[in-house]
Structure 1
Amino acid sequence: MAGQIEARLKEKGIELPAVSKPQGSYVPYIISGNLVFLSGQLPMADGEIKVKGKLGQDVSLEEGQKAARLCGLNLIAQVREACGGDLDRVKRVVKLGGFVNATPDYTDQPKVVNGCSDLMAEVFGDRGQHARAAVGVGSLPLNVAVEIEGIFEIE
C-alpha cells in the first residue's frame, strides 16, 4: 500500500524539513544500483543550524541526541527526494555514519547517534535496523554538534 511511511510520519507527528542545499562542492545523494548514498546531513531546520558546539563542553547529551535526530530527519527528507517522493521505496536503512563534535575525553558518541538510529526504527520499523559507526571528531563544518551520513537500499 503506497504511502505507509508517510502515514506513519503523520501519525507520529513527525514533519520532515525541506531538503537543504549542499554546503560545498558535492551533491546531496548518489544512486548506484539499488543503493542511495546520502551525503552527511547537519542538524538544520528552516535553513539554519539548530545545534552548534562540542559534546562534553557546551552541548549536553540530550541536546546532542536532538541534533542527531534532526540529522536523521534530514536524511529521510533527502532519501524521499531520491525516491521521487515515495518513502515506501525504502527497503532498508543499510548503514549510518555518525560524527560527533566532541572534546578529546568524550566517550558517549554512540548514545548521541542513537538519536538518529532510534528515529530510523521509529519511522521504518524493522527496515530501519542498520549497521553504524559513531565517532568523535575534533571539529565539524559550521561548528555543528553532529553530522550523519547514510546508505539506504531502495526498490
Structure 2
Amino acid sequence: MSISDRLADLGITLPQAMAPVANYVPVSITGNLVTVSGQLPAMEGKVAVTGKLGATVALEEGQHAARLCLINVLAQLQAALPGGLDSITKVVRLGGFISCTPDFTQHAVVMNGASDLAVTVFGEAGRHARSTVGVASLPLDAAVEVEGLFYIG
C-alpha cells in the first residue's frame, strides 16, 4: 500500500507545504538523507495549538499538536521529493520541542502524537530514534514543534 493510500485511509489530506518564517530552507537533501526543519502545528496556514503544556494546553491537545506537526513535516517532504513520500524508506529520527511550564514532565507522551503517526503511516520503517525536550517558548507561541530526518532510496 502506498503512503498516499495509508494517509487517505486515515482521513489525512496533506496541506500545502508552509513557507519558512525566517532565513532557512524547510528541507535539505544530502545524499540519501533528508532533513526537515521544525514544523509547527499549523492548519490552513496558521498555528492551531498555542500556549504551554502544564498551563493552558491539555496533554491531549499537545498530542494533537505533535500529530499536526508531523503532518506538516510530511507535507514538506511531499513537496520536496520528486518521488514524494513513497521514496522514503526509513524515518531515521524525529525531534520534538514542547513549550511547557518548568514542572511539566510528560514530554514523551506529547511527542507520541507524532511518533505514533509515523509508525502508522510508514509501518516498521516509521520506527525511529527520538529526542524530546521542554522549552520556554516556540515561534508564534506554538505548543509543539517537530523536526525530522529521513532516508530515501
TM exceeds 0.5?
yes
Residue of structure 1 aligned with 2:127, choices 126, 129, 133: 129
1:1-155 superposed matches below 5 A: 4-84=2-82, 86-155=84-153
Partner of 2:11, secondary structure, is coil
C-alpha contact (below 8 Å) 1:55/1:100 kept by paired residues: yes
User: Bigger CA drift: 6-15 or 145-154?
Assistant: 6-15
Q: How big is each residue's C-alpha offset from its partner over 1:9-46, in whole Å with a ceiling of 9 and x where there is no partner?
A: 11221111210000100010100000001100000111
Distance in 1 between the 2:83 and 2:40 partners? 21
Distance in 2 between the 1:149 and 1:105 partners? 24
Tell me the C-alpha RMSD between the 2 structures. Answer: 1.0
Q: Which amino acid aligns with 2:23?
A: S
Q: Which amino acid aligns with 2:104?
A: Y
| Moved beyond 2 Å, runs of 4+ | none
**Aligned-pair distance for 1:85?**
5.2
**How many residues align structurally?**
153
User: Bigger CA drift: 69-78 or 83-92?
Assistant: 83-92
Query: TM (normalized to structure 1)?
Result: 0.96
Residue ranges of structure 2 left out of the alignment (5+ in a row) = none
Query: TM (normalized to structure 2)?
Result: 0.97
Q: How big is each residue's C-alpha offset from its partner over 1:97-136, in whole Å with a ceiling of 9 and x where there is no partner?
A: 1000000010000000000000101111111100000110
Partner of 1:135, secondary structure, is strand
Distance in 2 between the 1:145 and 1:63 partners? 9
**Aligned-pair distance for 1:86?**
2.1
Distance in 2 between the 1:114 and 1:78 partners? 20
Partner of 2:3, secondary structure, is helix
Q: How big is each residue's C-alpha offset from its partner over 1:120-154, in whole Å with a ceiling of 9 and x where there is no partner?
A: 01111111100000110011111100001100101
**Cα distance change on mapping 1:66 and 1:59 into 2, 3 Å:** same
Distance in 1 between the 2:39 and 2:82 partners? 19
Percent identity, aligned pairs only, is: 54
